[in-house]
A and B are shown apart, each in its own frame.
Chain A
């Protein structure tokens, strides 16, 4: 079983062949599910903890502070300690809450995140689902999460939760439009919704560069709308601390709260990963058309490292947004979406279609 850090196709294929040879077809499939599921669970848990730590450190640096420094070297174990604390907390059930929906809501939110993460290509061969409608699937399952948020707000029997959930619903439904339209712009350019095709199409240069102006506009719109989609600041009015305590997850405690918390950070990762894949080439190293020596030098860095470099770049930008801009009001959020982002997006799609038709791209 050869292990190649540059291409995981052989590794995953060998695992598959080994399982099929060793077990009955049913067992082999079940085992594959278990392995893939465990891998994603581990990744989500560890990456979520890492992102919480990164957020606290980045936020501190933006405010000229140091952030967590006491638990472990440079506070590295802080989020693990927090997580252990959350696991040991009592699960509180609000009086007159809708028990079934109250318990169901965190799972819907986190399942939506897990469904979305399945199609993201981490490296060649490291992608569990490669649909030909990958992007379409991703936008549709990532909007399932809003149902969980609405249910959480409604079933908590708390006015703050309900207001937070309604705001969140209005916001996510509006910004879903912008996310989809900016992705649609790139689908026109790429000519495919399949992630592997999109990444492969950026072998000679990332779409952000080859699609020039419309790509850049779509990228900026995607960043703004994606930030709103993840309910993060400056669009965090669904959980505006000063107005609504914690919004839809006010009444949740312990592991259920941790689910919402984790889902928020995994959504941040998904949005960043999609931005990195569609605009910045995913795991594809930085290539410029004909500079052969440069391209070969870039190929030395493994695709997995490239992917995470880009993802962390986008995550950093989104964190930069959060810790710079003040929160928008409800009406301002809807104005931004319906009066600004949507018309810009529609014109941008026309522009992109023209550019693709006239082949006025690199």
Chain B
């Protein structure tokens, strides 16, 4: 008798759980304005990528065209597939000392796997992940980029190497 009651209960319980599942998908069906599909080329103008999206490695510059890269090369060491090359140069500071600073921070986008290790490793927070993802070019050489902008200098408050 007890098992018979359990049998009857299991029928209704089963039906009830099925209805709960149908309620969930039904809610999705009847709220089509919540669809997640992005129709890419059409919505290109107003498409906003999410915050943690990794499009490319960029070097942050402030409004005075200053970056915080001191050319230490830690990102180059940390890059697992050699996408980063640091070319440094020596300059004479005002007090007559020799100082090594960044000349060109070369970034090979074509080799990058967007693993984020360079950004994590950078001690001065000079690198970041950009949101741009439209990287298609006609020539492979265009994928090699110089991250520090033309004529940029190192910011005052960045600690020395």
A contact residues vs B (CB 8 Å cutoff)? 58, 60-66, 69, 320-321, 323-325, 340, 344
A64 vs B37: C-alpha distance when bound (angstroms)? 7
With a cutoff of 8 Å between Cβ atoms, the chain A residues found around residue B24 in the complex are 324
The answer to whether A344 touches B39, judged by C-beta atoms less than 8 angstroms apart, is: no
Given contacts A61-B29, A64-B37, A320-B22, 9 further A-B contacts (CB under 8 A): A62-B28, A62-B29, A64-B34, A64-B35, A66-B37, A69-B39, A320-B25, A324-B18, A325-B21
The answer to whether B36 touches A340, judged by C-beta atoms less than 8 angstroms apart, is: no
Closest to A343 in B: B7
The answer to whether A61 touches B28, judged by C-beta atoms less than 8 angstroms apart, is: yes
Measured CB to CB, the closest approach of chain A to B93, in angstroms, equals: 59
Q: Can you sample 21 A-B contacts with CB below 8 Å?
A: A58-B29, A60-B37, A61-B29, A61-B32, A62-B25, A64-B34, A64-B35, A64-B37, A65-B37, A66-B37, A66-B39, A69-B39, A320-B22, A320-B25, A320-B29, A321-B22, A324-B24, A324-B25, A325-B18, A340-B11, A344-B11
B26 within 8 A of A: yes
With a cutoff of 8 Å between Cβ atoms, the chain B residues found around residue A69 in the complex are 37, 39
The answer to whether B36 touches A64, judged by C-beta atoms less than 8 angstroms apart, is: yes
With a cutoff of 8 Å between Cβ atoms, the chain B residues found around residue A344 in the complex are 11
Interface size on B, residues (CB 8 A): 15
With a cutoff of 8 Å between Cβ atoms, the chain B residues found around residue A60 in the complex are 37
- With known contacts A340-B11, A344-B11, A63–B21 Cβ distance under 8 A: no
The answer to whether A65 touches B29, judged by C-beta atoms less than 8 angstroms apart, is: no
Set B11, B26, B28: member contacting A64, Cβ < 8 A = B28
With a cutoff of 8 Å between Cβ atoms, the chain B residues found around residue A58 in the complex are 29
Closest to A220 in B: B15
Set B18, B25, B35, B37: member contacting A323, Cβ < 8 A = B25
Measured CB to CB, the closest approach of chain B to A233, in angstroms, equals: 12
With a cutoff of 8 Å between Cβ atoms, the chain A residues found around residue B26 in the complex are 320
With a cutoff of 8 Å between Cβ atoms, the chain A residues found around residue B11 in the complex are 340, 344
Set A65, A321, A324: member contacting B36, Cβ < 8 A = A65
Measured CB to CB, the closest approach of chain A to B30, in angstroms, equals: 9
Closest to B38 in A: A66
